[in-house]
Amino acid sequence: MMNDLGLYVHIPFCQARCHYCDFVSLCPRPGDIDNYLGALEKELLGFDRLFDRSIIETIYIGGGTPSILNLDQTGRLLEMLQPLRKAVTEFTIEANPESVSDEKVRLWQDHGIDRVSLGMQTSDPLWLKTLGRIHTTEKVAQAVDIIRQRIDCLNIDLIYGLAPGDKTYMKTLEEIIGLRPQHISIYELEVYDHLPLAKMLSERVDSDESFEQFHRLMSRLESVGYQRYEVSNFSLPGFEAKHNQRYWKRQNTLGVGLGAHSLIDNKRFNNTADLTQYLAGERIEHRENLSSDEALLEEIMLGLRRVKGMNYRNLIKQYPDRSDMIDRFVQQQIQLDRLILTDDCLKATQLGLDLLDRIVLDFMSLQ
Amino acid sequence: MNKHNQKYIRNFSIIAHIDHGKSTLADRMIEYTGALTSRQMKEQVLDNMDLERERGITIKLQTSRLIYRAKDGHDYHFNLIDTPGHVDFTYEVSRSLAACEGALLVVDASQGVEAQTIANVYLADKEGLEIVPVLNKIDLPAARPDEVIHEIEDVIGILAEDAPRISAKSGLNIQDVFEAIIDKVPPPQGDEDAPLKALVFDSFYDTYRGAIPLLRVFDGCVKKGDSIRMMAADQIYEVTEVGLFTPAMLPVEELRAGDVGYLTASIKEVKHVRVGETITHTDRPVEKALPGYQKALPMVFCGLYPAEGEDYDNIRDALEKLQLNDAALTFEPETSVALGFGYRCGFLGLLHLEIIQERLEREFDLDLIATAPSVIYEVTTHKGVTTMIQNPSNLPHPTEIASFKEPIVTAQIIVPKEYVGNVMELAQNRRGIFLEMQYIDERRAILHYDLPLNEIIYDFFDALKSKTRGYGSFDYDFKEYQESDLVKMDILINKEVIDAFSLIVHREKSVARGRQIVERLREAIPRQQFPIPIQAGIGQNIIARETIRALRKDVLAKCYGGDISRKKKLLEKQKEGKKRMRQFGNVEVPQQAFLSVLKFDDE
């Protein structure tokens, strides 16, 4: 039987590490990237049988900075993926403005990439510096020009919640809107104590201000035709990201590359984040079979992130021995105005989307 | 020398303010008389509990017989009876003093008279003791013996001109102390042939021999095999051993009128030989017991809860063990909505409370949460029923209360005169009633106040220290229960009364206290989906209010490229925190919030 699958390919290299970044990323030493591509090829080969019985619907090359690869390396990577993209309906690559060139974009286009996700984060020069981003605002516009010559579908990221009293995020949004991407993600800055940024920011934005900032961004986005379809994601109608939706729907996704995570038939596994180990072929770091309760928690935690919510009847059908608990939970959250249930559709209200972590915690307490 | 010639016996105590050198003097006297070799002698032998040595105070009494060859050529038996140095133990001090004919008043020649010195002198005076002043630390550069002698004469009103001037530390002039005692302290004048009359002034518990009372024989004599009766406890025992303290226990043939020593009789419980008890013979009893026996009455209460639930039984075991040695400690099981299962414990005072708490933590390795201390109130209803109330939830309805009384203490506060204003302000704030003020010398004054005990158990001493730059000293004595304008204050979270927070306060203090509590709760309770009013109220009247604003956003923006383990971990952690919360209606109140209000050291 053929199953659908999403494929994530991680390119862990960056020219410079962003001060807020908590992903698996490193500055490549000479030879690293080529060695890495070799290891990646081996890893892909190991999934032969999975690929044989799967229809790969989406491919997402993320990082790190996939655009950091030079033309040869880009070509090599995309050749590897060539046999896997027969049925692909969305093929995304992440890029940073400073590493985009016409030749590279042409190579992307030639190999079927039809969506580019551009890390912009902020248009404010001071904030770009604070966040450790190495591009400039002009570079973003140039990069968009170059990409748009060949690939139309674009996502741009924005980060808000930079500092109390900060106003630059609205200016950034205006610039992004001016570029008219089909998809915009807005993320709140999360500062982990171990990151360089934690020392640089003296004051953090509280939840009230975060709320204000987010809702200001959302109103503006909606006023120009973008629709929120997930907690942090907006798009023009019809341009919702297919690959990312797989995560929220808990559809099978295979992650390859350093530190990549996979979910296949309720089994989660992930690769090591240690490059030396990975290059030596010791890839899998952790593997777990999710229990029914764990899977159910994930359904709630991820499914309610989608504005459309989830199918209630299917949920009950999937977890019949938990139906009482699910029902109690749903009633409780409806009382609190956080969820609504219409026909079979269970979804978060506007309030619920703002308090989603509370909803999940309440669910965990009942579980 | 005739061993039992009372002429050559002197029974005395040493009284002093903390740090004025009481224990050091005792050590030196023991050393001087050779009761112990210096190798045997631990520093300050009389303070034998670690805690006591650390705090420089005596909690449990020790006693020792010293043999001194006087200048007149006779050997004298000195019985040194130690006293606890703190007012919490006033009753114990008074019984120790009652066992003596005299007291050495040790005064630091540089510090002069302090509040505690005076409190102890009052007690000694009440027992009719001859007071022998001794100037200690005479070798310090800051010593001002002549001034201090004047202080003693002016403030205490006893002659101090020929007081021995000593250094207990170096042993300078220690002999003068012995001679002064011989001269001034009268020998005991008991009747050896009269029926046995002995006073228990302390006791301790020995795992093998049971409770062992320390006693002073006033009349008659007692020996092994005697059948004795504890008059107050109404218990009969057979004596298995009598002996002296040297300070090690030394069995002797008998204890006679004038002697101080111990007896063993396989007494199972310390409470059968409480301090103040009179021991007599069963076959030839005295008619009347010695005066002054009191059952120890706890004055200050607090809840002790295990920080970890599983310690509950261990706390009980530990309290039981401590109680073997400390008849004044009381405890009973208690349940708190906020803190779970614990014990409500009664103490003689705040120091007693601290000591017990510290011993529980140190000697029994327990992790405790102590609630704010409270006092016991006397409530009389219109029907004439009087009850002692320490838990506000046991209060009758306000309309049924005819009288509401609180314990009042008389306090002596000694301060350098530039701080008199500060101290008066402090005492006033604490509802103190000024009684009088005297100047001890050009620099210092002593203020006498009546203060509600409730106002000093919390942080009075700290406040006094900070308002006098550490120079103020303070002592108090229970006076009486007085009618007072007391009210029950409730704390409401989201309009619901939370029992655990209810408290009894003076009406004048209610607004300030109410504000403080609601403010603390506002800080300690996490924001929730809806605004939460936090109120303090008396009956229907709300006197303080804060609002916890609604939480508007609580959602992590990102789900990393399929890696949801991090998010799960974060939520797991929050869930653990949530587990420790108590649900009141819609509101979740974390343990920390309860602690911020109930806990003792959180000012």
Max Cα distance, chain A (Å): 59
Q: Which residues of chain B have pLDDT under 70?
A: 1-4, 35-62, 84-88, 296, 309, 325, 557-562, 599-603
Closest residue in A to B570 (Cα) is A357
Q: From CA B26, how far away is CA B23, in angstroms rounded? A: 5
pLDDT attached to residue B1: 37
Beta-carbon contacts of B490 under 8 Å, excluding residues fewer than 6 positions away, are: B497, B498, B501, B502, B536, B537, B538
Residue A270's DSSP bridge partners are A261, A286
Give backbone dihedrals phi and psi of B416, rounded to 5 degrees, phi first: -60, 145
The per-residue pLDDT for range A91-139, each reduced to its tens digit, is: 999 999 999 999 999 999 999 999 999 989 899 988 988 888 877 878 8
Closest residue in A to B575 (Cα) is A361
A342 to chain B, any CB pair closer than 8 A? The answer is no
For residue B309, what is the enclosing H or E element?
none
CA dihedral (B82, B87, B90, B96) in degrees, to 10, reads 10
pLDDT attached to residue B2: 44
Residue B378's DSSP bridge partners are B388, B405
A260 to chain B, any CB pair closer than 8 A? The answer is yes
B527 to chain A, any CB pair closer than 8 A? The answer is yes
Cα–Cα–Cα angle for A243, A246, A248, nearest 5°? 125
- In this structure, the number of other CB atoms found within 10 A of the CB of residue B236 comes to 11
Contact B562 A262 (CB under 8 A): yes
Q: Cis ω on the peptide bond leading into residue B141 (within 30° of 0)?
A: no
pLDDT attached to residue B558: 67
pLDDT attached to residue B58: 43
Contacts of B579 in chain A (CB under 8 A): 365
Which residue of B548, B551, B553 is the best one to mutate when testing the A interface, meaning the one whose CB has the most A CBs within 10 A? B553
B263: exposed, middle or buried (C-beta count within 10 Å: 0-12, 13-18, 19+)? Answer: buried
A333 in Cβ contact with A362 (< 8 Å):
yes
The per-residue pLDDT for range A64-91, each reduced to its tens digit, is: 899 999 999 999 999 999 999 999 999 9
Contacts of B567 in chain A (CB under 8 A): 301
Contact A255 B564 (CB under 8 A): no
Selecting from A207, A232, A270 the residue whose C-beta is nearest the C-beta of B552 gives: A207
The yes-or-no verdict on residue A180 having pLDDT over 90 is yes
Selecting from B527, B558, B571 the residue whose C-beta is nearest the C-beta of A360 gives: B571
Which residue of A121, A211, A252 is the best one to mutate when testing the B interface, meaning the one whose CB has the most B CBs within 10 A? A211
Q: Which amino acid is at B593?
A: A
Residue B389's DSSP bridge partners are B377
Contacts of A361 in chain B (CB under 8 A): 571, 574-575, 578
Closest residue in B to A161 (Cα) is B557
Selecting from A8, A353, A355 the residue whose C-beta is nearest the C-beta of B561 gives: A8
pLDDT attached to residue B35: 60
Q: From CA B336, how far away is CA B500, in angstroms rounded? A: 6
Give buried/exposed letters for A155-190 (b at 16+ CB in 10 A, else e): bbbbbbbbbeebebbeebbebbbebebbbbbbbbbe
The yes-or-no verdict on residue A264 having pLDDT over 80 is yes
The per-residue pLDDT for range A280-336, each reduced to its tens digit, is: 999 999 999 999 999 999 999 999 999 999 999 999 999 999 999 999 999 999 999
A270 to chain B, any CB pair closer than 8 A? The answer is yes
Predicted confidence band at A244 (pLDDT cuts at 50, 70, 90)? Answer: very high
Angstroms from A287 CA to nearest CA on chain B:
12
Q: From CA A332, how far away is CA A363, in angstroms rounded? A: 10
Q: How far from B169 is each of A296, A359, A363, CA to CA, in Å?
A: 75, 70, 69
A367 to chain B, any CB pair closer than 8 A? The answer is no
Selecting from A247, A353, A354 the residue whose C-beta is nearest the C-beta of B559 gives: A247
For residue A109, what is the enclosing H or E element?
helix A102-110
Structural tokens at position B445: 């004054």
Q: From CA B357, how far away is CA B350, in angstroms rounded? A: 10
The per-residue pLDDT for range A184-219, each reduced to its tens digit, is: 999 999 888 888 888 888 888 999 999 999 999 999
Which residue of B551, B554, B555 is the best one to mutate when testing the A interface, meaning the one whose CB has the most A CBs within 10 A? B555
Selecting from A248, A270, A355 the residue whose C-beta is nearest the C-beta of B555 gives: A355
**Structural domains of chain A, ranges and CATH numbers in brackets:** 3-247 (3.20.20.70), 291-367 (1.10.10)
Bridge-based pairing of strands B330-336 and B368-370 is: unpaired
- In this structure, the number of other CB atoms found within 10 A of the CB of residue B549 comes to 13
Closest residue in B to A214 (Cα) is B553
Selecting from B556, B567, B575 the residue whose C-beta is nearest the C-beta of A364 gives: B575
The per-residue pLDDT for range A298-308, each reduced to its tens digit, is: 999 999 999 99
Q: Across chain A, what does the average pLDDT equal?
A: 94
Strand segments, DSSP code E, in B348-471 are: 368-370, 374-375, 377-381, 386-389, 401-416, 433-439, 444-452
Q: From CA A202, how far away is CA A198, in angstroms rounded? A: 8
Residue B157: strand, helix, or coil: coil
For residue B142, what is the enclosing H or E element?
none
The full DSSP string for A236-300 is STT---HHHHHHHHT--EEEESTT-EEEETTEEEEE-S-HHHHHTT--EEEEEEPPHHHHHHHHH
B580 to chain A, any CB pair closer than 8 A? The answer is no
Nearest to B298 by CA among B345, B333, B343: B345
pLDDT attached to residue B136: 93
B69 to chain A, any CB pair closer than 8 A? The answer is no
**DSSP one-letter code for B193:** T
